[in-house]
Every structure is written in structure tokens, then in C-alpha cells.
Structure 1
Amino acid sequence: MLMETFSDAVHLRNDLFSYQREVEDEGELSNGVLVLETFFGCTTQEAADIVNDVLTSRLHQFEHTAFTEVPAVALENGLNPAGTAAIAAYTKGLQDWQSGGHEWHLRSSRYMNEGARSASPGSPRPAPAPRPPTSARSSPRRAPSGCAPTHVPYQKVGPSVIPDIRMPFPLALSPALDGARGHLLEWSRRMGILGEGVWDEDKLESCDLALCAAGLDPDATQEQLDLASGWLAFGTYGDDYYPLVYGHRRDLAAARLTTARLSGCMPLSPEEVPPPPVNAMERSLIDLWARTTAGMTPDERRPLRAAVDVMTEAWVWELSNQIQHRVPDPVDYLEMRRATFGSDLTLGLCRAGHGPAVPPEVYRSGPVRSLENAAIDYACLLNDVFSYQKEIEFEGEVHNAVLVVQNFFGVDYPTALPVVQDLMNQRMRQFEHVVEHELPVVYDDFRLSDEARAIMRGYVADLRNWMAGILNWHRSVDRYKDEYLSNRVHGFAPDRTPARPVLV
């Protein structure tokens, strides 16, 4: 976080100062001001003001991380005074870079600074004057408050408004759906998921996770669909469990210990034995891991375990924000949302059977990462649109893209929703663009075999099914509907006290 906020601030500052040179003189398209000017359909000045606000917010996050989170990490890892001092010196170096870079941009004749060389060092320069927005999508400027906790939780927002969502791909469902529903109920009982006070059968039924799995992989056999449904249940249950149990108790230490224990439930070697499970999450993860990785080598298991670790550690990040009552800024949120959604896990499971025909370098290439991120962002934003009422009104949640836009721009729900809708639909268009124009170049550049090209076409089809299946699932299930949310006790299961986590 320290390095990413530093990097964001450096590059956003450069975009502000270099706009005229890059866009007007050089015809450059990759500039943050131009990106927002195009997306919002606003004036250059308005776009520059928004970029400046994002820059300010990233610097606030840098300060927050440096003064609160980095010392905690040093303490957690048992660093000696010399090690702690080294981190402090590194942080000071990043701060010096920021201030030095800012002064250089102010004084350099490279950018829009006529007479800059005659200005005295450190002399103040007038900030660009904010101007009123020219359209509904061009949201008014906010006072950049950084990490200030200003959101009031549990506001009455009414049913989630579902806008027009672009979906160019057809839906298909696995014929094993009905069998997977019955198996998931029995498996959830056996794992203890329905016995800890967080979920009961009604909540499990409201999720209908087998329906989601059936859309994600319409060609799945019964065994494959049962396994996929289990993974979805584990992820969804954990995502509910952390804020309900640890958030209500403000117990970040217990959440971190739980996360560390979950990582230990995924041995890299077949000879390793996982620890005895102490709760439903550990029991279900041990079961899913054993079934998924049977026959895998340690090298094949390692990225899959890393993907689960990324997801569970992101839940702790969410919990930390919840305890601090902090609504993330847009950059922070979108980057971390991919992790909290379990995106790496989903992609890892999709790739598991691809074999060596597709070199790892292909997956690391820019176009393939762009393809994956577009699909992931589309699904994450889609979830936020449908879950808005559930999260804002009933759960007091701060991690929702619509709320992030509201908080950052200081606008209401009807104004923020079209911004998220536009971003979601643009991510779909980016996905289509990469498939049509960029992937063929990747195939040629890497000289992929016919077999590898067929595998990549199958991967694209998997991602299309993934997005179509997720949209169908959100439209179908009760989990996000006002009638369901309003007619039952939301939160812990009725008449049942949630089990206190067993920490060993």
C-alpha cells in the first residue's frame, strides 16, 4: 500500500502537469486527465480537479499507512530497532521523492510553466479554480478528506435500483444443477456451516450458489459442479463471517489469526497433514483443498494457495476499514475489490487444466491481464449494484462501489449509480476489444501452437460464461432482494448466538 500510493501520486501529478504537452502537442491518449475528461464528458478543468482530488486522497492514504499500518507490520514481524529504523528511513525517502518531484514539476520548463525558472524555490502557486459541472455524470468536486470517517452507516436506502447492464453473451446452465443443490445443502451441514449462527438453511437457500456455479461452468459434470458450489459457499460464507463476527467485536487480532490458520489448511505437499479443524471455514477449506488438489504437484498447488490467501487477507483489509469506519478512495477500492471477490482463485481454477501448452508468459502479458481485469471488474461492480441495499441499509458496510463514488464526489445515490453503471459497461467493452484486437497479436507474438490457441479461446469462453452466469445469478437469487431482506432478521441467524471463534 505504501509503494502503490506513492506510485499513484507520482504518476497522477505528472499527468496533471504534462496534459498540455502530451495531449495537445503530442497527441498522447494515456493521461489521467484525458481519461476522466472522456469518461465523464466534462471539461478539462473539471477532469484536472478530479485527478487532483484522487492525488490528494492517495497522499492521505500514504500518510495513514506510514503512521499506522507500517509500524504495526514491523511489530507483528518482530523487527528489531534497526529494522524498524530502516523502514522509517525508506518511508522518509519516499516522502522526499514526492516533495522533490512536486517542486521539479513546478519549476521545470518541460511542462506548462512559463516563467517557472524565474520563480523562487518553494514559492506558492495558485491552485486551479474549480468550475461547476456541465452534466449529471460530471459530479461536483469534493473537499478531499482522505481517510476521514464521515459516512453514517445503516441508512435507509430502499430497494437497489438495477440499471441497464450490458451483457452480450448468452447464458447456459449445467444440467447437473439440481443434483448440486442437494449436495451443497448436505455438504454445508456436514462442514458445520449451518451450525455457527451466521448462516442457516434459509440463508443458504437465498444464495442458491449451485445456480451460480452452473452458470459459471455450463459444461461441468456433477462432481465438478459439486466442487465449484463448495468453493462458492466457502468464499461467500467467509465474506459474511468476517464482518459479522469479527467486525461486531472489533477483533482484528482474531481475524488475522483465523486467516493465518486458513492458510495452514492448504498443504503444498501431499505428505503434509493439515491441522485439526476448529470451525466450519477450516473444515470446509480442508475438504475443498483435498478434492481440488488431488494429483497436483507442489508447484501446481502453490499459486492456488496464494490465491486463497489473497482473498482471506483482503477480508482482513475490509475488516480494518470497517473498524476504522473508513470508506476507501476509488483507486484503493477497485484494486482491493478484485482480491475480496476471490478473483485470483476463480482464475486459478479456470486455468488449472490448461497444462503446459500455454506458456506462463502469456498469462502475464498485458493484454491477457487486461482481459482478466476487465471481466473481474465487471463482475465486482455488478455485485455492488445488486447488493447496495443489503450492504448499506442492513449491514452498515463501507465497501461498495456506489458508496465509494458517493463518498468521494459528495453526491447522492441516483447520481453515483450511473457512474458505476458506465464504468461496468465500459469494462465489458474493454473485454470485447481485447478479444477482438489484442489477443490475436499475443498469439502471433508468442508463436502459440494450434493447441495453445484453442486453449486460450476456451479460456475466453470460460470468462464469458463467468460473467453471464454471475449476472443471471444476481438477477435470480433472493439474497439481494428487498422482500427477502426486509422480512427476516439480517445478520446472525435467528435465535442463535454466533459461535465464538476457537483460536488455537
Structure 2
Amino acid sequence: MTVHAIKLPILRMPYPVRVNPYLLALREETETWAREMGMLDSGEAPSARRAIWTLNQFHAMAVDQLTAWALPDASLTDLRLNHRLNLWALAWDDYFASAFKRTGDLTGAQAFTARLHAFLPPEPGARLPEPTNAVERGMAYLQQRLFPPRMAHWQQGLNRALARYIDAGVQELANSRAGRVPDLIEYAQFRRESFAAYTAPYSVELSTGARIPEQIRHSRAFCALLDAFMDYMGMANDIASYQREVHDEHDVNNLVIVLQTSLRITVQEAMRAAADLVTARLRHFEHLIRSELPPVVQRARLNHGERIELEAWLRGACSFLSGLHAWYAGAPRYAPADGPFQEQRTSTAAVPVGEQCVSAS
């Protein structure tokens, strides 16, 4: 069965999409930074820098749209910063796939990744190496700007999440070279790393300005909520990117392939099972907000200000998921070459903030 014969499911998303009012401003400048970093082909004379994308490839990603959908409440400054972080993550992904996955160069991938770790220091103020490519150049730029005083508490956690993201790429390549499809239970945790999902709470905080109250941050209910939040992202992406990863990149690290192999079912059955699993994780996220988090909040005796911050963060998390869902459904990056990706597109009409997420109070 070819990928074009597989019916791709339309995933459930209960949270309406809202659009950041600074989308047009972001769109006007979206090429500038990518060109400065050497990620985007300048279209001019040949350069010693190796560009990652052509202009058509760059616009097909619609990263400005993704960022504006996922972070509807961010200021222009915060939206711009997160947009560049998103661009960097995709630049790493596409560069790694082109330079190492398509060639099977595991030794080169390991050397590239080891060097990139030097651009993710655990402590602020560390001296970085001189960048030699667009991926290193982009991360060196971001390290100077990702941690303003109000976000300084993220220095170790975010760089650790980014380190897990790039390390997962090496493991994905090793799996593909060996023809080793990950075990289903192993894959759930691994996908959070390989999707850079551990960076998403940072993006939500950056967008909303709201911190998760320390009294509940490490509670069982909130940790489970974060797991469900992250699982939806990566697993839904596996459905959207099935053609790109499995047929174009010959990757075995995809939920559909994992389910097909683990359960010994057809690709179409595995696609349906993947959609069911993604929906189950989203329903669990909703259940935790509605039923399990409120008692935790009560026991922690959060004050009014802390409850307001938690509500703002949760609304931001819901927007983040709806923005990703809309991007998967609409970005040309995920569309089959011979037709639209899905039968239905997600509306981008603005909706009232209060309608987007269930209260945890």
C-alpha cells in the first residue's frame, strides 16, 4: 500500500485556533533572520555557507503561521524569539536529515551532535565556540537571547531539553540504519525527546508570562498533564509527517510504523490506532485539567494570583496544541504532492479567550 492510498485521519481538537495580532509583522521579517544565519538560500551569488532551504521550501514550512497560531497572546518581542527558536529546530531537523539520515552517516552525525552540545551550556555566561554552519550559528544567536532575567530560571532546563532533542536524532539514525523499530512503550518517552516537546512549556511561559506555581509543579497530576500535553504534539506529528518521514527519509521512528510492527497490523489499521492513541492522550489532558488538577490546587492553597497564573498557563497550553494541530492540517510541508493533506482545514478565526480551555480552579 502506497502512502497515497492510506486515508489520513482528521484528528480531534476541541480548542479553537486564535491568531496572534502580530502575524503580519512577523511575516514581513520572517526571511531576514534565516538569511542572516545562512539557513535560507539568498538567491544571489554562490556562497561558502551551505543553505538549508530554498525560498520555496522555506515558505512551505509556514513557521510564521505556526508561531502565531500556537502563541496567540505573545508580545511581538516574545513571538519573534519563539519564531526563531522554531526556525532553528526545523533547521536542525532538515539539516540533520539531509546531511546524515539520507546518507546513513552515523559517525558524522555523532561528531556534529557532540560539537553542537558546546552551544548548549548548562550555566549562563559560558564561552561558545565559533559557529561553522547555519545550525550552530542559529543556536549561538539564540543563547544570547533566550534567557532574559524573567526567563533565567529556564537556562538549565531548556538547554537540557534541546540536548535531548539533538541526541534523539542520533538514536533515530542508529535505529534506521539497523532497521530497528522502537518498542511501543519505549517510543512514547523517546518521542517527547525527538520532537523537542520538553521545550514547549518554555514557549507557553514565554507567550503568557505565567509561571507554573511551584507548589503544584511536581505533583503527580501536573506531571501527568505535561506528559499528555507533550505526547499529543509528537504523536500527532507522526501522523502528519508519515509520508515525509517514512517514504521520503526511510525513517522507522514513527508511531504508525511502531504500532504496525508491535501489533502486527496493516498500515491503515496502524494509522487508525495512532489516531486513537493521539485522541486518548488529548482526552487525558482534558480530564486532568477538569477533574484531577482542581483538588491539587485546593490542597496546595494557591492564592488568587497563583491561580490566575495557572489559568493563564493552561490557556496558553491549549492554544499551543490547537496551533500545532492547525499547522499539521494546513502547512504545505505536510501535504502530499498530489493533493491536500486533509479533507478539512482548521479555521483561523479569532475566538474569545475564555472559550479555549477548561478551568482548573
TM norm structure 2: 0.85
Match of 1:317 among 164, 171, 175: 171
Classify 1:201/1:485 alpha carbon distance in 2 versus 1 (closer, same or farther; 3 Å).
Answer: farther
Question: Structure 1 regions of 5+ residues with no counterpart?
Answer: 1-154, 487-504
Contact 1:350 1:459 in 2 (8 A): yes
Q: What are the superposed Cα offsets for residues 94-124 of structure 1, whole Å, 9 maximum, x if unpaired?
A: xxxxxxxxxxxxxxxxxxxxxxxxxxxxxxx
Q: Does 2:162 match 1:162?
A: no
- Deviations 1:144-168 (Å, cap 9, x if unpaired)? xxxxxxxxxxx83216633232111
How far apart in 1 are the matches of 2:92 and 2:267? 28
Cα pair 1:478 1:484 within 8 Å, conserved: no
After TM superposition, list the pairs within 5 Å mapping 1:189-200 onto structure 2.
189-195=35-41, 196=50, 198-200=52-54
For 2:59 and 2:68, locate their aligned partners in 1 and report how far apart those are by CA, in whole Å. Answer: 15
Cα-Cα RMSD = 2.2
Out of 341, 358, 370, the residue aligned to residue 213 of structure 2 is: 358
Q: Deviations over 1:61-89 (max 9, x none)?
A: xxxxxxxxxxxxxxxxxxxxxxxxxxxxx
Report if the CA contact (8 A) 1:381-1:420 is conserved.
yes
The answer for the alignment partner of 1:327 in structure 2 is 181
How far is 1:251 from its partner? 2.6
Alignment of 1:334-413 (within 5 A): 334-351=188-205, 353-354=209-210, 358-359=213-214, 362-413=216-267
* Kept in 2: contact 1:160–1:388 (CA 8 A): no
Paired residue for 1:226?
80
Q: Report matched runs for 1:84-483 at 5 Å.
A: 156-158=2-4, 161-195=7-41, 196=50, 198-295=52-149, 300-351=154-205, 353-354=209-210, 358-359=213-214, 362-483=216-337
Counterparts of 1:222 and 1:372 in 2: how far apart (Å)? 26
**Larger of the two Rg values belongs to structure:** 1
Match of 1:345, SS? helix
| Per-residue deviation, residues 214-245 of structure 1 (Å, max 9, x unmatched) | 11110122222221111111111212222321
Larger relative contact order (CA 8 Å, sep ≥ 6): 2
Contact 2:101–2:249 (CA<8 Å) still a contact in 1?
no
Q: Which moves more between the two structures, 441-450 or 248-257?
A: 248-257
Q: Normalized against structure 1, the TM-score is what?
A: 0.62
SS at 1:328 equivalent = coil
Q: Secondary structure at the match of 1:291?
A: coil
Point out where structure 2 has 5 or more consecutive residues left out of the alignment. Answer: 42-49, 341-361
- CA change 1:299–1:219 in 2 (3 A) is closer
Q: Name the CA distance, whole Å, in 2 between partners of 1:439 and 1:381.
A: 24
Whole-Å separation in 2 of the counterparts to 1:310 and 1:485:
35
> Aligned partners of 2:85, 2:107: CA distance in 1, in Å?
25
